[in-house]
Amino acid sequence: MDHGKNDMEILEATDDAYGGVIVDVRKKMDPPTFVAVLRASISRWRQQGKRGVWLKLPIELSSVVDSAVKEGFWYHHAEATYLMMVYWIPETTPHTFPPNASHRVGVGAFVINQKGQILVVQENGGMFAGTGIWKMPTGVVEQGEDICAAAVREVQEETGIDTKFVELLTFRQSHKSFFGKSDLFFVCMLRPLSFTIKKQDCEIKEAQWMGMEEYASQPFVQEREIFNSVAKICLARKENAYSGFSALLNTSGFSNKKCYLYCSSTYTPS
């Protein structure tokens, strides 16, 4: 906290890139004290011509959430340890806060061995539990994790098979999925580096190597267009009649952080 005129306590804030402020509340306060400090802070920011206010409240300060709502803040997003709330100071213009993340990202792994067999699993839970359907290992990409790395990790966790990323074969986008979010699902081709299956007992009922044609002929796959289309793409790749996207390690434009650019596997950078 800092102090202004009349020794008024103000929330510490850093400027964002769009004329607003970011407040990371660390000091514990009871609701009445929090409201007084928040009102004084907003008054100061209004005088300074600030626009949006990002208010990050740790879970330890959950008792002041209702107070923030009553002062005009609304939810933007939440994580395990904090809630992010926002407030728009200008009264004559609509807010320009970007929406929260709109998509969840998932991966499926097409792992094919030298015999032309693919790695498949039956799950203990979820929509496939108890159906007898064999499917590719799948999972959700974790925060800060690359798609190619997520596919390798999921296969190792579910089946104990070590793999190496080869190509991104295809992806699909769907909507109104997990809690109303849109969903991106990437099918990756992996090359096995080991072959002895050691399944994850808590999530996986069975795991095995299966002929590609046997997998694709399952009634569930045949009767559902998206599963059938993916199976056809995988089969075409097995027969070298299709090529996907390789992962090229690059640096991002602004932060110089490492990232992967997925492009045609036939492209060779000069």
Residues marked as catalytic: 157
Chain-centroid distance, C-alpha 98:
17
| Gap between the Cα atoms of 141 and 96, Å rounded | 29
| Gap between the Cα atoms of 187 and 249, Å rounded | 19
| Gap between the Cα atoms of 244 and 264, Å rounded | 6
Q: How confident is the model at residue 5 (pLDDT cuts 50, 70, 90)?
A: very low
The full set of domains in the chain, from first to last, is 2-88 (3.40.630.30), 103-241 (3.90.79.10)
Q: How confident is the model at residue 58 (pLDDT cuts 50, 70, 90)?
A: very high
Given a cut of 70, whether residue 7 has pLDDT beyond it is no
Burial class (CB in 10 A: 0-12, 13-18, 19+), 255: exposed
- What pLDDT does 2 receive? 56
Instruction: Give the tens place of pLDDT for each residue, 80-92.
Output: 999 999 999 999 9
Q: What's the pTM value of the predicted model, to 2 decimals?
A: 0.86
**SS3 assignment, position 21:** strand
- What pLDDT does 51 receive? 96
In 3D space, the residue among 39, 10, 36 whose CA is nearest the CA of residue 25 turns out to be 10
Torsion of CA 58, 60, 62, 68, to 10 degrees: -50
**SS3 assignment, position 35:** helix
Instruction: Give the tens place of pLDDT for each residue, 131-184.
Output: 999 999 999 999 999 999 999 999 999 999 999 999 999 999 999 988 888 999
| Gap between the Cα atoms of 165 and 192, Å rounded | 9
**SS3 assignment, position 94:** coil
| Gap between the Cα atoms of 61 and 26, Å rounded | 9
Instruction: Give the tens place of pLDDT for each residue, 206-263.
Output: 999 999 999 999 999 999 999 999 999 999 999 999 999 999 998 877 778 889 999 9
Count of alpha carbons within 13 angstroms of residue 214, beta-carbon side = 11
Beta strands in 212-264 (DSSP E): 245-251, 258-264
